[in-house]
Amino acid sequence: MAYLFTSESVSEGHPDKVADQISDALIDNFLAFDIDSKVACETLVTTGQVILAGEVRSKTYLDVQQIARDTINKIGYTKGEYMFDGNSCGVLSAIHEQSDEINQGVDRGSKELQGAGDQGMMFGYATNETENFMPLALDLSHRILTELAELRRENKDITYLRPDSKSQVTIEYSDDNIPQRIDAIVVSTQHDDFDEDEAMLAKIRRDIIEILIPRVVAKLPAATQALFNNDITYHINPTGKFVIGGPHGDTGLTGRKIIVDTYGGKGAHGGGAFSGKDPSKVDRSAAYATRHIAKNLVAAGVADEVLVQVSYAIGVVEPMGIFIDTYGTCPFNMTDGEIAQKVSDIFDMRPFAIEERLKLRSPMYSETAAYGHMGRKNETVTKTFKQPNGESVTLDVELFTWEKLDYVDKVKKSFGL
């Protein structure tokens, strides 16, 4: 029997994502000036206020208040009427030094012996139902909001948009797990105030369906375009007026959108958040590494769908173990346990090896903090960072290294494909 599956996304202006972006901007600035920085930064945002807290061990000094303000302005909170803007909000820092007791389990005489920054289990997932090996419902939810943000910044075809928004997509699947059609789309977008609420809601609905959605569809592969139809149920700002939004409408915290950040409810999630953590924290680095494994396995033809789990003990170098689930989609006679053993031979999952393989000690994290950490474009960008004393550094930074298909040949050789 056919079934429905739903995933959601939130925009860069959603309060939780504002917090994530501030935390990751701090990570990037610390790493830009001290590659060995150990950072765990949490952010809270609410009406007119930002609170920074966490633990840092670094040789550099930063103006964390200015970094927070610059991040907020870049997102688009630049007007006093939003009741939260980068130029006027208060910024309180309660960041202190990382505990020696935590640090002693991580830093060792040899970097290769670096222990895991915490205990826990991390999951990576990949499926061949999209070109970027991501679940379709989540991929479409992200695309809707990235396109909506483009429309907001263009301020041409739609001129009333504010930064906060959410989307949700429901896909109908066949019994054999093949997407058949899009059943429903939800979009809630913050907007400027209007004189007439009914006219406002009608215009927003029309603009989303007639301007936004066609722009999203035009950028999709033909097979995905075919899933769009005239029978889609649209819920556009279903609660009505949405003028009060962002941190003024709802307090935001780092790490509260972990399912949006990963696979939209497909696969699994170990529970740890990513933003605000340097790569010695395996919550982050091992989640990227398992995505890298899963994507390369699917791309190599080991299975149509793969879930990878790895687990660690704090301060211990080697992982507790690797688990693989191919959901019965492996086309050749090999058990998931046998696949896991080969994966262990191909991919070195010691924390320092992950950092080196994926180049995780570069300031690559601000770009991850909105619209998902997985399924993104691997590219190199130039970034400039400044210190309070006027010193600056310009770096070429490779983004989303865990999305590379650089292990496909190794996987095929190992599996005889």
- Specify the amino acid at residue 48: G
Region of residue 137 (phi > 0: left; psi between -120 and 50: alpha; otherwise: beta):
alpha
16 assigned ligand-binding residue: yes
Element (H, E) at 378: none
203 assigned ligand-binding residue: no
Residues of the chain with pLDDT under 70: 98-113
193 assigned ligand-binding residue: no
373 assigned ligand-binding residue: no
What is the reported pLDDT for 151?
A: 98
Alpha helices in 257-391 (DSSP H): 258-261, 282-300, 336-346, 351-357
What is the reported pLDDT for 116?
A: 82
What is the reported pLDDT for 157?
A: 96
What is the reported pLDDT for 106?
A: 59
Phi/psi of residue 110, each to 5°? -110, 130
341 assigned ligand-binding residue: no
Which of 230, 275, 272, 249 is closest to 166 using CA atoms?
Answer: 249
42 assigned ligand-binding residue: yes
What is the reported pLDDT for 114?
A: 80
79 within 8 A of 36, measured Cβ to Cβ: no
298 within 8 A of 343, measured Cβ to Cβ: no
14 assigned ligand-binding residue: yes
**Alpha-carbon torsion angle 278, 279, 280, 283, nearest 10:** 100
Which residues, 6 or more positions from 197, have their beta carbon under 8 angstroms from its beta carbon?
240, 241
85 assigned ligand-binding residue: no
8 assigned ligand-binding residue: no
142 assigned ligand-binding residue: no
CATH dotted code for 3-10+136-246: 3.30.300.10
What is the reported pLDDT for 10?
A: 98
Which residues, 6 or more positions from 373, have their beta carbon under 8 angstroms from its beta carbon?
261, 262, 274, 287, 288
Return the domain boundaries, the chain: 3-10+136-246, 120-128+278-415
123 within 8 A of 286, measured Cβ to Cβ: no
Residue that is written with structure tokens 């936004």 in the block: 212
242 assigned ligand-binding residue: yes
Return the DSSP state at 269.
-
383 assigned ligand-binding residue: no
Looking from the CA of 108 toward its CB, the CA atoms found within 13 Å total 16
219 assigned ligand-binding residue: no
Say how far apart CA 122 and CA 15 lie, in whole Å: 25
Q: Which two tokens stand for residue 17?
A: 């994502």
CATH dotted code for 120-128+278-415: 3.30.300.10
145 within 8 A of 307, measured Cβ to Cβ: no
12 assigned ligand-binding residue: no
What is the reported pLDDT for 110?
A: 62
What is the reported pLDDT for 196?
A: 84
273 assigned ligand-binding residue: yes
What is the reported pLDDT for 99?
A: 60
What tens digit of pLDDT does each residue of 68-125 get? Answer: 999 999 999 999 999 999 999 999 999 998 665 455 555 555 666 687 878 899 999 9
Q: Which two tokens stand for residue 131?
A: 């070109």
165 assigned ligand-binding residue: yes
Topology agreement, domain 3-10+136-246 and domain 120-128+278-415: yes
What tens digit of pLDDT does each residue of 402-414 get? Answer: 999 999 999 999 9
